[in-house]
Amino acid sequence: MTTTLKGIIPALVTPFDGDGNIDEKRFRAHVQFILGKKVHGVCLGGSTGEGFTMETDELRQLTAATVEEVDGKVPVVAGIISNSTRDVVKKAKALAGLNVAALQVTPTFYVFDYGEQAMFDYFKRIWEEVGTPLVIYNVIPWNLLSTDLVLRLLEEIPGIIGIKQSQGNIRRAAELVIRAPKGKAILAAIDDLLYPCFMMGAQGTLAASPTAAPGPCVALWDAVQNNDHDLALKIHNRLVPFWNLMGHENLPALVKYCLEVQGDHVGLAPRHPMPPASEEQKKIIRPALEALLEFDPSR
């Protein structure tokens, strides 16, 4: 496979209007805002983008808009979050003809854990039926893919080009960096520990923190690449307390609030029933965000 994913890849949010429909105009402006921070790729339809609420035609709409706005500048990853192989394949085939570098696919996320062989067969069949490069999104707590299973997937399915390692502690990401086959991307999604992940060899990150604060995260990546660890540690010391304030229960809404603070007018409303950022959340998040944004070179 020739697709390469590395560096800072923000998980785009999805703006909605008052009726809960996609606001494409604001979404396109959001893509341009993120590109202006000199990121290395973008991902739509992930958890931060509320992809778990997306219908097939909406995923196609967002993907087409993203590809058009990006215009080949960076790779575009399209997220698919579903509970059946059939639906993943249906959504993936709906993106045919669009310039998508890879699909980010979760294991099934309903309450059942089908076992390791079923998850291997799931990703294998998706690759065989679709033929688009895949990034495993290892995020489902009760269906967490073990390190050994991930390594088997990376080794035996040529279309799997990497993994977004989200759930689990930093030890799991470290083990994957050490043991993964050459050429496979380990993208760390441990949002408050990006600095140590980059230091130990992760090829980049595909996560929500680079969406909430894209400028500082790009600056962190660049600092590590330039061996400027004094700067990297300063950014890390601001990122950790900021991210510790971001509540998991309505994270997409909080990321939208952070973007609004920076002038990226994506709106504050997530899709119902997720609640928007509360006044109390805004009150505690904003000072930590402003402190982190001191390391945004574009401000």
Non-local CB neighbours of 231 within 8 Å, separated by 6+ positions: 219, 223, 295
Position 1 confidence tier, pLDDT thresholds 50, 70, 90: very low
At residue 270, does pLDDT exceed 70? yes
- 271 near 16, Cβ under 8 Å? yes
CA 245, CA 280: separation in Å to the nearest integer? 11
- % of the chain at pLDDT higher than 70: 99
Q: What tens digit of pLDDT does each residue of 154-203 get?
A: 999 999 999 999 986 899 999 999 999 999 999 999 999 999 999 999 99
- 116 near 146, Cβ under 8 Å? yes
Q: Which secondary structure element, helix H or strand E, spans residue 7, and what is its range?
A: strand 7-10
CA distances from 193 to 8, 34, 241, 252, 280 (A): 14, 21, 11, 19, 25
- 217 near 189, Cβ under 8 Å? no
Q: What tens digit of pLDDT does each residue of 61-86 get?
A: 999 999 999 999 999 999 999 999 99
At residue 276, does pLDDT exceed 70? yes
Q: Which secondary structure element, helix H or strand E, spans residue 205, and what is its range?
A: strand 204-207
At residue 113, does pLDDT exceed 80? yes
pLDDT at 168: 65
Q: What's this model's pTM, rounded to 2 decimal places?
A: 0.97
Q: What are phi and psi of 104, to 5 degrees?
A: -95, 115
Position 33 confidence tier, pLDDT thresholds 50, 70, 90: very high
| Domains in the chain with CATH codes | 7-293 (3.20.20.70)
pLDDT at 219: 98
Share the mean pLDDT of the chain. 97
CA 114, CA 107: separation in Å to the nearest integer? 10
User: 10 Å Cβ neighbour count for 287?
Assistant: 12
Position 2 confidence tier, pLDDT thresholds 50, 70, 90: low
User: 10 Å Cβ neighbour count for 183?
Assistant: 12
pLDDT at 167: 80
